[in-house]
């Protein structure tokens, strides 16, 4: 189990370091990364971590994903707490390192609504729902827990960050938002990013369950 927790720490650390690091570097160095580059960075780092540590921990890297797997019955509830703690430590370690490297950056890549908080809340719920449905649909069985279809998951994250990032930040991950917000002390509207992704993940389980039942019914009717 220790290997799983270390894998979640490492994966979440790398995700926050690369993703929010891309935002910081883009801000400080003449937008060299660009918004498209930031979106691609988030997608690529998640894909890489899925293939790097997915066979060890499932590469959740996100408390909303862990919750979604637990609610769906694909992950034991007893491991939810340790997984979340490992992810939280990884996220804060990454934001702490970025603070040391780039102390002049005011937000450290924290997610903030560009419009109204409720607009971002709804977007974050929908974005996480879409992401979690894809994760559930491309993962089968106990061993994978999300590692199959790593390209699909990374692509969805990059896609959502591409079109929704300018509006809500496209967090879909409470700890990816919590760590830079607290380390930079910019926690305004943080509730949006702590509540919306878990809600979206739970709704995604219901959608996946419906799709699964419909698929079974359709298969039975045609056989």
pLDDT of residue 221: 52
pLDDT of residue 212: 82
- Top CATH class of 2-222 equals mainly alpha
Of 209, 189, 211, nearest to 107 by C-alpha is: 189
pLDDT of residue 138: 87
* CA–CA separation, 123 and 107 (whole Å): 21
One digit per residue, pLDDT tens: the chain, 223 residues?
Answer: 799 999 999 999 999 999 999 999 999 999 999 999 999 999 999 999 999 998 899 899 999 999 999 999 999 999 999 999 999 999 999 999 999 999 999 999 999 999 999 999 999 999 999 999 999 998 754 444 444 578 999 999 999 999 999 999 999 999 999 999 999 999 999 999 999 999 999 999 999 999 887 555 555 455 5
Question: Where along the chain do its domains lie?
Answer: 2-222
Of 2, 133, 147, nearest to 61 by C-alpha is: 147
In degrees, rounded to 5, the angle at the alpha carbon of residue 131 between the alpha carbons of residues 85 and 46 is: 60
């Amino acid at each position: 189990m220790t290997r799983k927790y270390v894998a979640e720490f490492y994966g979440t650390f790398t995700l926050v370091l690369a993703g929010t690091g891309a935002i910081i570097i883009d801000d400080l160095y003449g937008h060299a990364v660009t918004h498209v580059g930031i979106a691609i960075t988030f997608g690529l780092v998640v894909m890489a971590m899925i293939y790097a540590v997915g066979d060890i921990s499932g590469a959740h890297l996100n408390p909303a994903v862990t919750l979604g797997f637990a609610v769906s019955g694909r992950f034991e509830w007893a491991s939810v707490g340790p997984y979340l703690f490992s992810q939280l430590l990884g996220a804060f370690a990454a934001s702490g390192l970025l603070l040391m490297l780039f102390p002049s950056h005011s937000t450290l890549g924290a997610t903030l609504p560009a419009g109204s908080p409720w607009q971002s809340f709804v977007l974050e719920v929908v974005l996480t729902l879409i992401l979690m449905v894809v994760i559930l649909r491309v993962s089968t069985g106990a061993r994978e827990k999300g590692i199959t279809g790593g390209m699909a998951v990374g692509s969805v994250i990059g896609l959502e960050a591409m079109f929704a990032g300018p509006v809500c930040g496209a967090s879909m991950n409470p700890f990816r938002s919590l760590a830079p917000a607290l380390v930079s002390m910019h926690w305004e509207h943080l509730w949006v990013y702590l509540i919306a992704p878990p809600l979206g993940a739970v709704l995604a389980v219901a959608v996946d369950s419906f799709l699964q039942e419909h698929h079974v019914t359709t298969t039975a009717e045609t056989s």
